[in-house]
Structure 1
């Protein structure tokens, strides 16, 4: 069995592997342009590092895949490890993963690790660099009333305003969703950075596993104001994509749809991850939902 097949099988049943590192997610986003490093002992996988690679002009780079917030190392921890033993275990396995990275014919390496990976010292010791990025997470959605009370008062007012102007509907066709998603970039004078084909593959793969949901808002004239796309794994529901009609942005319907996603996370007993942004205005909006700031590592090296 190939390394990829081993990893696909592992990530299907291993609940601690985050969504964006699942083999099926990588298949959908990267098609054939991904691979995986596995560290094994007696047929047990102790650590993995799936990666997207990009080839150009006879050069190869490992880089962040589109629509994939985090990727990178996963470690299979023994139960009831003491903290010191855990760090020692991490350091050893990370060093073995780095050995395999550096056997690859690459000119650059960069990945964004899931926020659960706090230790990156073995990478530092081997000459890698790091910058800190942030996402926002509502870790406990069990008490929805308390979650709502933690919202900024202005945000609650915006949500109440939106509720009076629009109605929430479910399951917008993926072609229509992509058009709305595209509008968000066009309004900023940007080209959408991913194709409909990639979004369609993600949609198909998530639908197959019951791991996605779309909502959209319409007014009394049945005009769509905004649409949103959520995906999830065993632990967390993620805000993946959205789009708003430029003529209706003042209705604040996107905030209403985000609240709908938080309600869904509550129903499913999951965390809610806003997928973060380093842009000031977006960070401010996410922070208003009372979410907890989570730091995660951007690890990189030029060879």
Structure 2
């Protein structure tokens, strides 16, 4: 276990000859990993693939499931982003754009016919023109991110003063442990849901399997915040890939210190910066979450959503939304 210092915790057809051989950033994230998708979809996923001379130059995984009325392809539980992953090419900006458009179009052509298709693209995918040209609606979602080259001292200085104060206060009362086991985390999460008379929105089975898998594979960890009496009062789950660390899950007791989650997040940010990873707060879906995350001084980053709906599905959804509460938050502000 460790505590936190006063200022911060301890831390057209593609041309084969022109396909880039240099390692370059791509949009392949932990959420694209086959083991992740196997668990998150319980095996109900497929992958569109484009090859050139037997080499994969583009891929796009998608989930598929049937409800009583509809065939849908949406993001699986706990899977924040997906979208196309395309091997880069050398050459002019115009040539690179043509390559992306061509490969993405051929990926889209392999997607299944369904009543509703929706994905949020990895933030490294900064345009969705190919989807728009194929009749998809494109919208903007947002997340907060901290770049990997930001020194911890600077990241601390960027925090809102209120956020810094609650982190300092929490660090004087709580101890952070990075060795929380999946069993302890899941029991804690379920107990807090029960105390609030809520059910697991992600599905208990999927969450249990994913948490165990990312801890076992060392692509994530669980951090706990403990009171002076040794009681676990807050916990979060983070996962990472070769470029980013993501805030995935959190839970706290109703009487936990108001800065407990902030302290755990700051500890995670320091770990990401130590590893030279971007820290991704993984989006928000309500004004209160937006206000909370904005206190961390991170950069607001756009994530594009792509959607295509069948006529009957669209009509049914429109009718439902007509009678939904007017205050429901839309993430595409």
TM-score (norm 1): 0.88
1:33 equivalent in alignment to 2:33: no
1:214 maps to 222
> Are the counterparts in 1 of residues 127 and 304 from structure 2 also a CA contact under 8 Å?
no
The 1:57/1:219 distance shift into structure 2, 3 A limit, reads: closer
Distance between the aligned counterparts of 2:104 and 2:75, measured in 1?
19
Distance between the aligned counterparts of 1:125 and 1:186, measured in 2?
46
1:8 maps to none
> Are the counterparts in 2 of residues 180 and 242 from structure 1 also a CA contact under 8 Å?
no
RMSD of aligned alpha carbons: 2.0
> Are the counterparts in 1 of residues 142 and 302 from structure 2 also a CA contact under 8 Å?
yes
TM-score (norm 2): 0.81
Deviation at 1:105, TM superposition (A): 3.9
Out of 72, 89, 99, which is 2:83 matched to?
72
User: CA-to-partner distance for each residue in 1:157-214, whole Å, 9 max, x for gaps?
Assistant: 1111001111111222223312433466567664221233212221232234311111
Distance between the aligned counterparts of 2:309 and 2:195, measured in 1?
35
1:204 maps to 212
2:274 maps to 267
> Are the counterparts in 2 of residues 134 and 296 from structure 1 also a CA contact under 8 Å?
yes
Distance between the aligned counterparts of 2:69 and 2:292, measured in 1?
42
* Structure 2 counterparts to residues 7-46 of structure 1, below 5 A: 16=26, 17-46=28-57
User: Any idea what SS the aligned residue of 1:293 has?
Assistant: strand
Deviation at 1:75, TM superposition (A): 0.9
In structure 2, list runs of 5 or more residues that go unmatched.
1-22, 311-333
2:93 maps to 83
1:151 equivalent in alignment to 2:159: yes
> Are the counterparts in 1 of residues 170 and 257 from structure 2 also a CA contact under 8 Å?
no
User: CA-to-partner distance for each residue in 1:39-88, whole Å, 9 max, x for gaps?
Assistant: 1111011111101111123742111111010012111112x332111111
User: CA-to-partner distance for each residue in 1:107-157, whole Å, 9 max, x for gaps?
Assistant: 221111111112211211221112210011001355111111111111111
Per mean C-alpha deviation after superposition, the further-off stretch among 145-154 and 197-206 is 197-206
> Are the counterparts in 2 of residues 181 and 241 from structure 1 also a CA contact under 8 Å?
no
User: CA-to-partner distance for each residue in 1:217-241, whole Å, 9 max, x for gaps?
Assistant: 1111112110011110011111110
* Structure 2 counterparts to residues 152-231 of structure 1, below 5 A: 152-182=160-190, 190-231=198-239
Deviation at 1:15, TM superposition (A): 7.3
2:110 maps to 100
Distance between the aligned counterparts of 2:132 and 2:78, measured in 1?
27
User: CA-to-partner distance for each residue in 1:12-43, whole Å, 9 max, x for gaps?
Assistant: x9973111111121112112111100011110
In structure 1, list runs of 5 or more residues that go unmatched.
1-12
Deviation at 1:274, TM superposition (A): 0.5
Deviation at 1:260, TM superposition (A): 0.6
> Are the counterparts in 2 of residues 141 and 147 from structure 1 also a CA contact under 8 Å?
no
Per mean C-alpha deviation after superposition, the further-off stretch among 229-238 and 175-184 is 175-184
The 1:161/1:89 distance shift into structure 2, 3 A limit, reads: same
Number of equivalenced pairs: 287
User: Any idea what SS the aligned residue of 2:132 has?
Assistant: helix
1:295 equivalent in alignment to 2:302: yes
The 1:274/1:30 distance shift into structure 2, 3 A limit, reads: same
2:124 maps to 116
The 1:43/1:208 distance shift into structure 2, 3 A limit, reads: farther
